[in-house]
Amino acid sequence: MNVQEEPAAPEQLEPISPEQEELLAAEESLPKRQYCVFRAGRERFCLGVLDVEEVVEWPSVTKMPLSPSFLMGIFNLRGSIVPIVDIAFTEGRRPDLLPRHVVVASLPGDEIHDEVRVGIAADEVFGTFSTSEPLILTDAPREVPHCRGMLRHEDRLALTLDLRRLVDVFPVPVI
C-alpha cells in the first residue's frame, strides 16, 4: 500500500503592526554611510569607503632618509609611489612588529598635484561597516586632531579619520 504524505502547510507569518512598520520606515529613511574599519596599534579607526582605494597586504617598503618617525617609508603600487603613515606611532609600536596591511586612500590634490595618495599602516582590517547618522558621535578627542568624530563599531568606539586633516597632521611626500 502506497501512502502519500500531504505537503506541509506553509508557515504563516504574522502581519506587521503599524508601530513596527513605522519603526522600519524610520530606520530605512536614515542615511547610511559605509566605512572601512581597521585597527592601528590599540585603537580602531574608520575611513569612508569613498576615500579608500584599496587595502593591500604589507608590501616591500623603502625607508626614506631623514623622514619623520610617523613615515614608515614608501612603496610601489602598480607604478605609483605611495607613502605609508603610521598613525599609531605615538603608542610606541614595537619595532619588531610590522603592520599586516596598508589602507590606501586618496583625496583630491591641489594646483600642482591631481590627487594625493597615502597609505595608512593597519594591524588588522575588520572590513566595511554601514551605519546611520545617529551612531556617529561628532566629537573626537582633542588629542586626535586628524579625526572628525567617533562611531560605534561592534562593542567599541572607532575614531573616524578626516583624510584632509590626516595629511595636514602627518605631512607626506607627494611623489
For residue range 106-130, list pLDDT tens digits in order.
988 776 667 889 999 999 999 998 8
Q: Is the dihedral of CA 120, 46, 39, 91 positive or negative?
A: positive
Contacts of 85 (CB under 8 A, 6+ apart): 70, 71, 72, 118, 119, 120, 121, 166, 170, 172
CA-wise closest residue to 129 among 4, 64, 44, 9: 44
| pLDDT score, position 7 | 59
Residues shown for the chain: 175
> Where is pLDDT greater, at 57 or 113?
57
Q: Cell numbers at residue 109, please?
A: 590634490
Complete domains list, the chain, with CATH: 35-169 (2.40.50.180)
- Name the phi and psi angles at 10, rounded to 5: -60, 145
Q: Is the pLDDT of residue 61 over 80?
A: yes
Say whether 83 sits in a helix, a strand or coil.
Answer: strand
| pLDDT score, position 30 | 55
For residue range 119-175, list pLDDT tens digits in order.
999 999 999 988 776 556 666 667 677 888 888 878 888 888 888 888 888 887 776
